[in-house]
Amino acid sequence: MAAAETAGTGRVFVILVVVFSLCESLFSGGDSYKRELTVTLYPNSTPSGGELLHVKAVGGNDTLHFLFCSQGAPTLLMVHTNSSSSTVKVNWTEFLARNTSGSLTVEPQSSVLYSTAVVFSRLLEYDDENDTAEAKSNFFPAYELKDFIWTQMNLSDSTATLCGSPPRSGKGSLCLQLSVFGSEGRVDLCPRLLHSANSSQLEVWINGLPPRSNTSRFMLELEGVGGAYPLSMNRVDVRKFIDDEYAPSIFQVSLWVSSPNNDSDILGFVQWKPVAYRKSHPSLEDATPCRNSDPQQQNGNSTSASSALIKAFYSDPVAMGMNVSFGIAGEPYYNSTMFLSWTMLMGVGSPPVDSISPMVIGILTAGLGIPIVLLLGGGAFILIAKKRESSGYEPIN
Amino acid sequence: MADFEERGSLLGDEDEVPLAGRQEASGPGRPMSAICDPSHLLHRVVVLVFMCFLGFGSYFCYDNPAALQTQVIQDMNLNTAEFMQLYAWYSWPNVVLCFLGGFLIDRVFGIRLGTLIFSLFVCIGQVIFAAGAWANHFWLMEAGRFVFGIGGESLAVAQNTYAVNWFKGKELNLVFGLQLSMARLGSTVNMNIMGWVYSKVAVAVGSSGHTALGISLMIAAGTCVFSLICALVLAFFDKRAERILHKEQGRTGEVIKLTDVKDFSLSLWLIFIICVFYYVAIFPFIGQGQVFFIEKFNFSPAQARAVNSIVYIISAPASPILGFIVDKTGRNIGWVFAAVIATLCAHMMLAFTFWNPWIAMSLLGLSYSLLACALWPMVAFVVPEHQLGTAYGFMQSIQNLGLAVIAILVGIIVDIRGYLVLEVFFCSCICIALMAVVGLYIVDFLKGGGLNRSAAARAKLQKETSTDAERKRQPSMGMQGGSAARLSSMSAFGLRNRYLSRLGAKLPDHCSTHLSTLAHRSVLK
């Protein structure tokens, strides 16, 4: 009981961050639901990483807890409770020991509606000498992300950045950036995913990792972990959309949802655009398509073993693994820029749906409306003129 | 009297066996085999073959960037805006050259030397373009396109002048149709073959990259060399025919006077607006269409190139058929309106739906052919004949200016805002053209409805004015005996245009059949 709420040896920084962000889109039609964010960081006593970040997003009558941890494989856990006063309790010593589950709990337990987690387990590299991007053979030894050496979390505004480098060589890095939002909006950087107050964005990028061949491509392995309602075991849905304004040349959105019976209400989702970028400030020509494999069931125990957060929260996790491979046949290889970034959105409820921007609607209305008006007006004018001609005038000759 | 002479020469032109009269005029009188006799149909068919292939190289190489879009962008590290510069640089010289083409051919070089020089420009331009890719200098590629542009459009003028010089009357329609088909064939073959050529070269070189790109473009330059050879052969035949038949070197007959611009009527300016805003929604779209089809509709690169080329494939057979229909029915403004609406539908389909793009692109091909057949002849209806050269030159000049500017804008829009906004932009350009069509109809209606007459009404009007004019001309025939020789070579084409231009303007002292070719030269664009 002693010091159960506070870290055992370290200090607890309580940073109160209240985010008031105005709606970035001109029309606030859509989700104008706002949440207040509170950020808590549990640092580790050892100099390297292993911190636990807790962001509490409090809405009107519910709370979203986002927990981001780099102990072992980097993990993002999301818990949705139906009370605005729920809290997270961490038994830090047990958490660090990684022996038992239940060291991290959300109180009151009965208020937990839904929880899901994404574990980034491995980074795979394969030699694509024939430029087919098939990703079936020629695999180099995989990078186990649980063995990476993670730095301390860098907190700024409403984002937390975490970087790690490979254990032996130490060259290059894989970074993750978590952004939690209090309201609807869009981040400025491609692919400019639309987020709502019910979602958080996680950007993953590889920078400078030395490739093991001139024709190698990368693949990221994710595991979706759930308790009662895990992410879909069968498929990742693809939704097509006509508007590519915010991510030029990308007309699809990939959705990995968890719904209790297929096609009923969506409880939670992982959403992304099937594109990766080869530069840190990308534009259209730096985009490279990415493909994902179908989800496959994994061994829940090995997932628990690789991630402290999963071990602490879930007693009997169900894990579904999925690979995201970057690049297709004909695209430049990784060594052209030595950089790859990919963004995903994780949230509760229905995923946000893109809509056509007001500018496009305005241009269309003006562009089509004016000729129609002209047509009708001119047609009426001509009819009247013809009527006037046909009535009355008789030629003299 | 002029009637009889004209009728006589028409018969003589259409006849396949040379009449006795013509053989006497055609020189020493020693019997030549049919294929060597410049006045015989068989020889002229041989010349026609070379005439058609004259433009093949130019049209093949014009759309090389579109056919190799992904390769050019990747190998030279470009964004879409820089890629579209390749099209802009082709159009820039033609803003000025449209006015000078006829002048250069008539006064400075002559048709034979002029054709050779323009073919040489096309060839050298393409070689510089390929060299720029091979050496990995993008500025050199742009310079190559600039040189290529100097030759490209003027070569079309020369091709048309040759056609008018060698063929008369009803044959001329067929010849123009064949030239159009060859142009479209060149574009289509380019779209569908260059990707395959590149992949084969990349395998041979070892890797894809700017070297493979340069070599592929050099191979494409081979078609330009082929066209250059055709130009040489044509020059030889033309010189020989001139010697045997004692006929003059062909002339375009264009007279460009920029001061005529102040006389252009409102109808003509509206026609210019339609022309500019319509074509900027077609050519820049095809120029960067490949990536659009790959990304939005998940086409393979080969499929994307095929659907991109469907506009050209359709316009090859559709243009003569639609031209025939438009000629028969008249009502040009109605056809232009239908074409613009159809293009708007096609672009909206591509923008807002995921329907199979083959449908939209086929519609685009049909409407593009329809507009070309209906719009360009309208210029001849509203402009007096002595100003036709200036009018067509001006129309092509601003068309090229619009294409150059919009090509760059298209690239920027795609980079910043993506393809939906680009399609909306194209839709708005078409809407401006639509407004101009509606305006044109209203203006024309207020002026008496000359442009939208049906063909039957027009023919009736021709007869009335021709009998009037003949009666007026009879007394003055004696004085104009000298020019009777010139008048006697009038073709059906020249007759029609001449009488149609009489509907609005005073008949000038000179008349030229060659001005009729202007309508058809522009159809090739």
Domain boundaries, chain A: 2-28+358-386, 36-348
pLDDT at B288 over 70: yes
B439 reaches A (C-beta below 8 A)? yes
pLDDT at B283 over 90: yes
Per-residue pLDDT, B181: 83
pLDDT band at B469 (very low <50, low <70, confident <90, very high): low
For A145, the token pair is 């992300």
* Least confident span in A85-89, A250-254, A358-362, B467-471: B467-471
Per-residue pLDDT, B13: 38
Q: Which residue has the tokens 């050099």?
A: B218
B285 reaches A (C-beta below 8 A)? no
pLDDT at B281 over 90: yes
Query: What is the percent of chain B where pLDDT is above 90?
Result: 48
pLDDT at B291 over 70: yes
Overall average pLDDT of the A61-89 stretch: 90
ipTM value for the complex: 0.83
Please state, in angstroms and rounded to a whole number, the distance separating the CA atoms of residues A137 and A158.
41
* Least confident span in A230-234, B144-148, B204-208: A230-234
- 3 state DSSP class of A166: coil
- Are the CB atoms for B447 and B322 separated by under 8 Å? no
Please state, in angstroms and rounded to a whole number, the distance separating the CA atoms of residues A44 and A92.
9
Overall average pLDDT of the A92-113 stretch: 86
pLDDT at B10 over 90: no
Q: Residue A324: name the closest of A235, A211, A218, A166 by CA.
A: A218
Shortest Cα–Cα distance, A361 to chain B (Å): 9
Q: What own/partner pairs with CB < 8 Å and gap ≥ 24 does A46-51 have?
A: A48/A149, A48/A150, A48/A151, A48/A152, A49/A149, A49/A150, A49/A151, A49/A152, A49/A153, A49/A162, A49/A164, A50/A96, A50/A150, A50/A308, A51/A152, A51/A153
Q: Residue A285: name the closest of A293, A274, A277, A297 by CA.
A: A277
B409 reaches A (C-beta below 8 A)? no
Q: Which residue has the tokens 């693994």?
A: A321
The mean of the pLDDT values for chain B is 82
Query: What is the percent of chain B where pLDDT is above 70?
Result: 83
Q: Chain A residues with CB inside 8 Å of B438's CB?
A: 371, 374-375, 378
pLDDT at B59 over 70: yes
For A184, the token pair is 């609807």
- Are the CB atoms for A167 and A149 separated by under 8 Å? yes
Find, in chain A, the residue whose alpha carbon is nearest to that of B289: A249
Please state, in angstroms and rounded to a whole number, the distance separating the CA atoms of residues A254 and B408.
33
How much of chain B is helix, strand and coil, in % rounded to 5? 80, 0, 20
Per-residue pLDDT, B355: 94
For B219, the token pair is 């191979």
Please state, in angstroms and rounded to a whole number, the distance separating the CA atoms of residues A224 and A13.
29
Q: Which of B69, B428, B432 to mutate to test the interface with A (most CBs of A within 10 A)?
A: B428
pLDDT at B410 over 50: yes
Spell out which chain A residues touch chain B, with contact meaning CB-CB distance below 8 angstroms. 240, 242-251, 283-285, 330, 332, 356, 359-360, 363-364, 366-368, 370-371, 374-375, 378, 381-382, 385
pLDDT at B517 over 60: no
Asked if the Cβ–Cβ distance from B73 to A243 is below 8 Å, we say no
Query: A267 or B170, which is more confident?
Result: A267
Instruction: Provide φ and ψ at B170, rounded to 5°.
Output: -70, -25
Q: Chain B residues with CB inside 8 Å of A368's CB?
A: 427, 431
- Are the CB atoms for A212 and A197 separated by under 8 Å? no
**HEC states along B392-422?**
HHHHHHHHHHHHHHHHHHHHHHHHHHCHHHH
Overall average pLDDT of the A123-145 stretch: 88
Please state, in angstroms and rounded to a whole number, the distance separating the CA atoms of residues B177 and A16.
77
Strand partners for A37: A57
Please state, in angstroms and rounded to a whole number, the distance separating the CA atoms of residues A317 and A306.
12
How much of chain A is helix, strand and coil, in % rounded to 5? 15, 40, 45
Shortest Cα–Cα distance, A245 to chain B (Å): 5
pLDDT at B46 over 80: yes
- Are the CB atoms for A328 and B300 separated by under 8 Å? no
Instruction: Look at the alpha carbons of A244, A250, A252, A257 in this order and tell me if their dihedral is positive or negative.
Output: negative
B338 reaches A (C-beta below 8 A)? no
Task: Collect all residues with Cβ–Cβ distance below 8 Å to B416 and sequence separation of at least 6.
Answer: A248
Asked if the Cβ–Cβ distance from A360 to B73 is below 8 Å, we say no
For B127, the token pair is 């070689």
Shortest Cα–Cα distance, B417 to chain A (Å): 5
Q: Which residue has the tokens 């929880």?
A: A115
- Are the CB atoms for A78 and A125 separated by under 8 Å? no
A57 burial (CB, 10 Å; 0-12 / 13-18 / 19+) is buried
Q: Which residue has the tokens 């694509």?
A: A128
Cβ neighbour number for residue A186 with a 10 Å cutoff: 16
Per-residue pLDDT, B329: 87
Query: A81 or B460, which is more confident?
Result: A81
Task: Collect all residues with Cβ–Cβ distance below 8 Å to B229 and sequence separation of at least 6.
Answer: none
Please, what's the b/e burial string for B154-190 (b: 16 or more CB within 10 A of its CB; e: otherwise)? bbbbbbbbbbbbbbbbebbbebbbbbbbbbbbbbbbb
Residue B106: half-sphere exposure toward Cβ, Cα within 13 Å: 13
Task: Collect all residues with Cβ–Cβ distance below 8 Å to B464 and sequence separation of at least 6.
Answer: none
B434 reaches A (C-beta below 8 A)? yes
B293 reaches A (C-beta below 8 A)? no
pTM of the full structure:
0.82
Per-residue pLDDT, B506: 39
Per-residue pLDDT, B293: 94
pLDDT at A79 over 70: yes
pLDDT at A228 over 50: yes
The mean of the pLDDT values for chain A is 83
Please state, in angstroms and rounded to a whole number, the distance separating the CA atoms of residues A369 and A361.
11
Please state, in angstroms and rounded to a whole number, the distance separating the CA atoms of residues A170 and A147.
12
